[in-house]
Amino acid sequence: MSDGEIVVSHLAKQYRAVRAVDDLSFAVEPGRVTGFLGPNGAGKTTTLRMLLNLVTPSAGTATIGGQRYADLTDPLRRVGAVLEASSAHRARTGRNHLRAIGAAAGFPARRADQVLELVGLTPAARRKFKGYSMGMRQRLGIAAAMLGDPGVLILDEPANGLDPEGIRWMRDLLKRLADEGRTVLVSSHLLSEMQLLADDVLIIAKGKLVTHGSVSDVVDGRAHAGPVRVRTPQAEQLTAALGSAATVTTGEDGALLVSGVDAPAVGAAALRAGVELHELVAEKPDLERVFLDLTAGKADIR
Amino acid sequence: MTVTAPVDPLASPDLGRPGPAPIRLIRSEFLKLRTTNGWWLFLLGALLMLVLAILFNWLQADFAFSEGIPQDIPEDDADTFEASRSPIFQAANLYTSGQFFGLMFVMLVGIVIVTSEFQHQTATTTFLTTPHRTAVILAKLCVAALFGATLWLVSLAINVPATIGILSIYDQSSLLGEWPAQRAILLNLLAYALWGVLGVGLGVLIRSQIAATVTATVLYLIGTTAVTILVTLLQDWLGWEWIDEVQYAVPSVASTLMVSGTSLPGQPPYWVGAVILVGWAVVTGTIGTMITRRRDVS
């Protein structure tokens, strides 16, 4: 078993009437960014908190490198986690916040300055936390997670409140950390961002695993479902030329959506019938579409 | 001009060797306390009340050392009055000036040490850094007790010269060489430390910072007086002598008892106060630790 592998096995959490996490099993590999997705209330945060010994599971186990978080000797040197953006004392400076954590873990005081440099917060190091913007708070959270130079990073919604430049910075950092062989597990709502960032995705809904695999597998696995979008002034001729194998509907913007045949077949039929085409696109489903398909009807308030 | 190569902040850093866990945790908790402004506000409040307490105790001493016993008081009270006239009683009282409010501020610091973790959602980070929650609570107990000890030391530094000065006005020696006075001073240290422990325990029980501090302050200020009044009333109505002893179960009353220089008539010996206060600290500290171990942090 790899040092940085996260293994969740038959994990469950029962809150009074709600089964927040239900017999959930998966493994997260090092060297890759894994996106952890699910609708609101799917159990993402509860799963991460059980993994980190903050919430006691009702059943099952969660281990990091084969050990429960509670059994790690130097947890911060193994695992860095960012769970809440606002988790620092309002009246404490960013630097002192990091020093207090570092002191408990036995790191030298200069380490706080190093991680502040890493996340670009050095100019605000001696400013109080209450004066930090949302993006600065996220950066401070990442700085805290990086204190122990851990091989495993777990981040809950780290992109919340970041501006486009901040999001790009975070994406580059996480990709780089994964390239160095670290395990990076990131939960997020921003599906387009996940498509850019993640190597693997892990989708849960209602506390259960929906799908787990590389982004391309998960998206392409459903590619056949995508329709072909065609724009033509001769819609009727084209529909006739396509024959009975194709189903043609007219989209809101006047484009035709053809399903049942692929884009080359549509092009060939148009050529044979002498139909003029202005646009011919095979609509590839993106992560967002796949996610919405997979979790349809499971995003209810529980 | 020299150009330094940019340092890669990700290049495996030198994290040093971690020291012993208890030392690390206490340092961290101390740093947390020191890097917020709560503690010096409490210290300031305690010092202000200390000055008032010295003046009040001086008045008491003045009354006690003045000539004669008032004629019109009952015999029981006359005994108490006579006992309180002993120089050692007054000396112990003066050397432990400021205890009542000092203990309250120590308790409040203990409460804040715990509740601020929930108020500012830093409990998550704290327990991620140290998954052994018992160790975290023990470190907090230590820091709260250390704050108490510091406040005791500060008040002692003011009380000793003030008391020697006041006693000399009434031609009394300092009595610092006398064991009852030394004992009162030392047990006062124990009281200051234990109230930090009580505060931490309370903070775990009531996680809301506002609710915990307000409840504790009201209980401390009004509760102490209310119990004393209630006991006196019940004793008068029912004539039960033993009911008088009940009030010593209240932590603040027990604290006053344990630093008394001589026993007043009808009052339990000083060590009963110490035993009761240690009991309270052990109970709240243990319950607080057990709750913290089990509770989900979210």
Work out the average pLDDT over A248-262: 82
The pLDDT value given to residue A301: 57
Position with higher pLDDT, A141 vs B7: A141
Residues B69, B73: Cα–Cα separation, whole Å: 9
Dig out the tokens for B178 from the structure.
């006398």
Q: What type of residue is B208? A: S
User: Is residue A302 predicted with pLDDT exceeding 60?
Assistant: no
The band of A61, judged by pLDDT with boundaries at 50, 70 and 90, is very high
SS3 state at B194: helix
Task: Please give the model's pTM, rounded to 2 decimal places.
Answer: 0.85
Q: Which of B120, B126, B138 to mutate to test the interface with A (most CBs of A within 10 A)?
A: B120
The verdict on a CB contact (< 8 Å) between B31 and A103 is yes
Dig out the tokens for A230 from the structure.
């065609």
| Burial category of B133 from C-beta neighbours within 10 Å (exposed 0-12, middle 13-18, buried 19 and up) | buried
The verdict on a CB contact (< 8 Å) between B15 and A148 is yes
Residue whose pair of structure tokens reads 């001769």 in the numeric block: A234
Residue whose pair of structure tokens reads 């008040």 in the numeric block: B155
Residues B101, B280: Cα–Cα separation, whole Å: 18
Q: What is the DSSP string of B127-151?
A: HHH---HHHHHHHHHHHHHHHHHHH
Mean pLDDT by 10 residues, chain B (298 residues): 50 78 93 87 92 93 76 68 81 91 94 92 92 93 95 95 92 86 91 93 91 92 86 82 81 85 78 89 89 85
CB count in 10 Å sphere of residue B247: 19
Shortest distance, CA A98 to any CA of chain B (angstroms)? 10
Instruction: Report pLDDT digits (tens) over B59-110.
Output: 988 888 876 666 666 666 677 777 777 888 889 999 999 999 999 999 999 9
The pLDDT value given to residue B75: 66
Position with higher pLDDT, B19 vs A107: A107
Work out the average pLDDT over A104-113: 93
Shortest distance, CA B287 to any CA of chain A (angstroms)? 19
The pLDDT value given to residue A87: 84
Work out the average pLDDT over A19-23: 92
The pLDDT value given to residue B8: 58
Minimum-distance CB partner of B131 among A53, A118, A149? A53
The size of chain A, in residues, is 302
CA dihedral B50, B56, B60, B62 (to 10 degrees): 100
The pLDDT value given to residue B4: 46
The band of A238, judged by pLDDT with boundaries at 50, 70 and 90, is confident
Dig out the tokens for A298 from the structure.
């499971």
Element (H, E) at A10: strand A6-15
The verdict on a CB contact (< 8 Å) between B298 and A54 is yes
Could you state, in order of their start, the residue ranges of all structural domains in chain B? 13-53+98-157+179-294
The pLDDT value given to residue A300: 58
